[in-house]
Structure 1
Amino acid sequence: MHAGEFESVRGIADLYVHDTGMFGTDEYGAVYVYDTEKPAVIDTGTGVNREALFKTLDEIGIGREELAWILPTHAHLDHAGGAGHLVERYPNAEVRLPEKGVRHLIDPEALVAGTKSAVQDQWQYYDDPAPVPEDRISGLAEGDRIDLGDRELVVHEAPGHAPHHAFYHEPDADVVFTADAAGIYVPAVDTVRPTTPPPQFDLDQCLTDLSAIEEIDPEYLCFGHFGPREYEPSLIGEAKRAYVEWVEAVREKREALGDDEAVVEHFEETSRDVEFWNPERARADASLNSRGILTYLNRIEGESEA
């Protein structure tokens, strides 16, 4: 699948995955579309390629008056940046996301500033988000259910990645929309890679979130990046190891180098070994994730000294 294309998700009725072509990488950005009695879009991409998403909804047969739900899994702009643009096009759609993310989509100024600081020159792949009107958005909490008509989504808060993060479970098909709670599964190398952005990544909570998915033991995982795949319990174990090992790698490198910027530069350089996305994106990903771990380490060290 290539940027702007969509396909049905095998094994799950009425569910489609749309490739946003995020960061110039095929399949990196996955938007899920439920063509149910009350149609829904799960995550939105950055908003840059929204016209292609609009076309996908048209081709699936979801009209402007019919879309019921816009459901970002969290407020990070690679997942929620298109929400305001969707609201403008689909007048009856309501936005739902974890409560702590609501204010960021109503007034995205601080979110944009934080994102620009975190992603730096990768901002070229983002779009300025359109604010979501207050009367079109509300928050979600643990255990809430979103009515799709003939099925529903169950909300599970998963704040390890960010305080405003959740994953959604659809029990009938037994599919979990993981967002970033299970890391990034990369089909090209059949492995899970951590995603640990600043400033609020938390390792212990991240491991708890992974255990929550493990307890559900679903049939399918719909990742926020690189799309869906059948669930295997070993994936969660692999993800847990990947997160723990990544935190330790950054911790050890900081002890060796004694300078946070030198740590970031080290991991940017080693990103040259990554072969499954373009070098620019690999370097940016290494920078973002290493800075997230350094922020986390500073926070927990400060807490231990308090």
Structure 2
Amino acid sequence: MGIGDCYDVTAGDWADLSYVDTGMFGTSEYGAVYILDGERPAVIESGIGTNHERILEALAEVGIDREQLAAIAVTHIHLDHAGGAGFLAEACPNADVYVPDVGASHLVDPAKLVAGTKAAVGEQWEWYVEPKPVPEDRIVGVEDGDAIDLGDHELRVHEAPGHAFHQVVFEAPERGTVFTGDAAGIWVPAREEIVETSPPSDFDLEECLADVEMLQSIDPDVLCYTHFGPRAVGDDASHALEQYSTVLEEWVAAVDAARADLGDDELVIEYFADSDELADVWGERKASAEAVMNVRGALGYLDDRE
């Protein structure tokens, strides 16, 4: 598996779903965008924007003309999920952009979104590109209970605000699949391991745990992670999702304990940045930056809890 490669989703009962490794942050197996080749073809997630050409190349590889694309659906407006939406909308003139309604205005005018992203990701901004605004008449706001009609498929919308208040997940009920956004954590296929994602400033542990319970109630056979790739869970869906609840609770507890021990938040951040275990998967620089962002989000949550 390599950056830019496009693969069929073989998990579950899919014959018309594929995904492309966008090479997000210069890292393979970190950022996935899904392509659903149905009556009304759709792209689910849009990447960071920097490598949007890889998504367009994947569309061509699957056999979807740019003019055929009907929908660009993003789970939330964080730029690693929605940063490519404007570029794709420009290249695919008949596609509407489906985005959680509460965040839709930030894709029309992304100035505040860019400022917030720069504050959250720090040095990682070098991997980003300024997003293209999405024309307002191309935006379709969605919220909990809605469904995106793709002809022979539908994507049911479920609110999942723990990671970010503007996050939803998309359920494809006829295929027992959920496109998880960040609601089910980060799946690391090289290790077959789930790890936390807790960025500032919206991360809320209790809301995240409630999101996991919501996903358990759907009881999917397949989880399609933006980070990264499809995962067949079959009859073990509840157990697989419960693993993420445990990961989150242990992660926040570890940050809390480090704060109590070290007594200074900057030392806490340095401690986790230096001790991150994913350098062999994502590279030392990306793994360290990811840890810094997650620690800052957990610290912010702990402050709000107090």
Query: Structure 2 length as normaliser, TM-score?
Result: 0.96
Q: In structure 1, what is the Cα distance between the partners aligned to 2:109 and 2:296? A: 25
Aligned residue runs from structure 1 range 105-184, under 5 A: 105-184=107-186
User: 1:41 Cα shift?
Assistant: 0.4
Q: In structure 2, what is the Cα distance between the partners aligned to 1:218 and 1:146? A: 18
Aligned residue runs from structure 1 range 276-291, under 5 A: 276-291=281-296
Amino acid at match of 1:106: V
Q: Identify the residue that residue 7 of structure 1 maps to in structure 2.
A: 7
- 1:3-29 CA distance string (max 9 Å, x none): 111011013121011110111211210
Is 1:249 aligned with 2:254?
yes
- 1:125-166 CA distance string (max 9 Å, x none): 111100011111021111100011111010001000000101
Q: In structure 2, what is the Cα distance between the partners aligned to 1:277 and 1:141? A: 33
Instruction: Give 3-state SS (helix, strand or coil) of 2:163's partner.
Output: coil
Instruction: Give 3-state SS (helix, strand or coil) of 1:172's partner.
Output: helix
Instruction: Give 3-state SS (helix, strand or coil) of 1:59's partner.
Output: helix
Q: In structure 1, what is the Cα distance between the partners aligned to 2:37 and 2:67? A: 13
1:166/1:179 contact within 8 Å kept: yes
Is 1:265 aligned with 2:270?
yes
- Please provide the CA RMSD for this pair: 1.0
Instruction: Give 3-state SS (helix, strand or coil) of 2:201's partner.
Output: coil
| Correspondence for 1:89 among 86, 91, 98 | 91
Q: Identify the residue that residue 28 of structure 2 maps to in structure 1.
A: 26
Q: In structure 2, what is the Cα distance between the partners aligned to 1:115 and 1:149? A: 35
Q: In structure 2, what is the Cα distance between the partners aligned to 1:168 and 1:131? A: 23
Q: In structure 2, what is the Cα distance between the partners aligned to 1:238 and 1:64? A: 39
Q: In structure 2, what is the Cα distance between the partners aligned to 1:237 and 1:31? A: 25
Percentage of pairs with the same residue = 51
Instruction: Give 3-state SS (helix, strand or coil) of 1:240's partner.
Output: helix
What is the count of residue pairs matched by the alignment? 301
- Point out the more displaced range, 113-122 or 194-203: 113-122
Q: In structure 2, what is the Cα distance between the partners aligned to 1:273 and 1:153? A: 33
> Structure 1 regions of 5+ residues with no counterpart?
302-306
Instruction: Give 3-state SS (helix, strand or coil) of 1:65's partner.
Output: helix
Change (3 A) 1:273 1:180: closer
1:272/1:283 contact within 8 Å kept: no
Amino acid at match of 1:2: G
Instruction: Give 3-state SS (helix, strand or coil) of 2:169's partner.
Output: strand
Q: Identify the residue that residue 216 of structure 2 maps to in structure 1.
A: 214
- 1:33-83 CA distance string (max 9 Å, x none): 000000100001101111111111112111121110010110000000000
Q: In structure 2, what is the Cα distance between the partners aligned to 1:51 and 1:100? A: 28
Q: Identify the residue that residue 43 of structure 2 maps to in structure 1.
A: 41
Instruction: Give 3-state SS (helix, strand or coil) of 2:180's partner.
Output: strand
- Point out the more displaced range, 195-204 or 185-194: 185-194
Q: Identify the residue that residue 55 of structure 1 maps to in structure 2.
A: 57
Change (3 A) 1:158 1:273: closer
Q: Identify the residue that residue 80 of structure 2 maps to in structure 1.
A: 78
Q: In structure 1, what is the Cα distance between the partners aligned to 2:294 and 2:195? A: 10
Amino acid at match of 1:291: R
User: 1:272 Cα shift?
Assistant: 5.5
Instruction: Give 3-state SS (helix, strand or coil) of 1:138's partner.
Output: strand
User: 1:274 Cα shift?
Assistant: 4.0
Amino acid at match of 1:282: A
Instruction: Give 3-state SS (helix, strand or coil) of 1:179's partner.
Output: coil
User: 1:273 Cα shift?
Assistant: 6.3
1:67/1:92 contact within 8 Å kept: yes
- 1:267-287 CA distance string (max 9 Å, x none): 111115642210001100100
- 1:185-224 CA distance string (max 9 Å, x none): 1122221101000001010010010111111111111011
